[in-house]
Amino acid sequence: MTKFEPFRLTCVLIFLVYAAAPLAALGCDICAIYTATELQESRTGWRAGIAEQFTRFATLQQDGEKIANAHRERLESSITQLLVGYSWNPRILFQLNAPIIHRRFRRATTAGIDHDQESGLGDISLHAIGTLVQAVSENSVQRVSLSLGVKVPTGSSARLREELAEDSETPHADIPPVFRTRLLYPRHAHPSVTSGIHGHDVALGSGSTDVIFGGQWLATYRRFYGNLLLQYFVRTEGSYDYTFANETILSGGPGLFLLTRHDSTLGLQSQFTLDTKGTDTLRGERVGDTGATFVYGGPAVHWTWKTSLSADLSLDFPVLRNNTSLQIVPDLRVRGGLVWRF
């Protein structure tokens, strides 16, 4: 199976299921679809949720080309988002996101193989989401919304001190003693003895206050649906004069409602995600091993119950992995979420 086949198989499955669906039921479907999309999202009051993203990194790449992972380096990252939101107006929602992060990794250091982990609270963000367009017809529903968020530095950025250890311009005396004995191999060393996991990969926070712009489009037509989500992160200088690069995330794709009942719906989607960022900077100088562009494809399942409960689960397989210098890159990503509207 090639790396593109999971995405293609999902598209074929959606087509075949829709081809077998009874067209006579379409007149009743719009009621359930309306409840699952328009009415659910415009419901006022409190909402709470939890979202999980697990990513496994086990492939080393040098300037976008796979190389041997001689030391079997790997990174497993789990980000659990706790969500609390309130809407007193059908068109405006405020939401607080608090991430709990756990990262476990194995990497090569000058002292040998390092097995370590980082766990704790990440950077909290507050978002304001406003609906610009709400349109409902006999066979379709459409929504367009914009969001503005602010991320504050609540997560520990201590791991970024390792970037000072890798910076040849930093005086040795300025490097904390704990990191002097755990310095990574220099970036100019041969890739076979250079670690692809650095401080910026495992830090829980950035030490910076950032702005997040976003927009979302959702549309349904009979049993078909599709969405498009755009997020743009504007980074500022954080701890230890380190600045993460601005980042763009674009995701979405076509889907099909497999089940449309008055009290619940079940949808299957063929979803893609583009995640791209430039290179970070340290004291105004480019950090070469931080630029990356990843494209994922895979299936996603969406389930709703009345106007109260919604759940999502998606598998993301990387179909394009491009990076600068030497980095460890993702092999699989699993995402899921659950939201309850009171």
The string of pLDDT tens digits covering residues 30-49 is 788 878 887 778 889 999 99
The highest-confidence range among 137-146, 158-167, 232-241, by mean pLDDT, is: 232-241
**Distant-in-sequence, close-in-space partners of 290: CB < 8 Å, separation ≥ 6:** 200, 244, 245, 277, 279, 280, 324, 327
Angle at the Cα of 67 (from 66 to 70), degrees rounded to 5? 140
- The CB density around residue 296, as the number of other CB atoms within 10 Å, is 24
With cut-offs at 50, 70 and 90, classify the pLDDT of residue 106.
Answer: very high
Which pTM does this prediction carry? 0.85
**Distant-in-sequence, close-in-space partners of 113: CB < 8 Å, separation ≥ 6:** 71, 106, 107
pLDDT of 14 reads 45
What letter does residue 222 receive in the DSSP assignment? Answer: T
The letter for the amino acid at 305 is: W
Whether 71 and 55 have beta carbons less than 8 Å apart is answered as no
The letter for the amino acid at 15 is: F
Q: Is the pLDDT score of 235 beyond 50?
A: yes
Whether 58 and 331 have beta carbons less than 8 Å apart is answered as yes
The tally of domains found in the chain comes to 1
- What length does the chain have? 342
Q: Is 109 left (phi over 0), alpha (psi -120 to 50) or beta?
A: beta
Q: Is the pLDDT score of 105 beyond 60?
A: yes
Q: Rounded to whole angstroms, how far apart are CA atoms 301 and 311? A: 8
Mean pLDDT of the region 95-99: 97
In terms of Cα–Cα distance, which of 56, 57, 155 is closest to 101? Answer: 155
* CATH number reported for the structural domain that contains residue 23 in this entry: 2.40.128
Mean pLDDT of the region 80-98: 96
Kindly write down the DSSP assignment for every residue of 185-208, as one continuous string.
Answer: PPTTS-GGGS-S--HHHH-S--SS
Residue 130 half-sphere exposure toward CB, CA atoms < 13 A:
6
Q: Which domain holds residue 218?
A: 5-341
Mean pLDDT, the chain, whole residue set: 86
What letter does residue 303 receive in the DSSP assignment? Answer: E
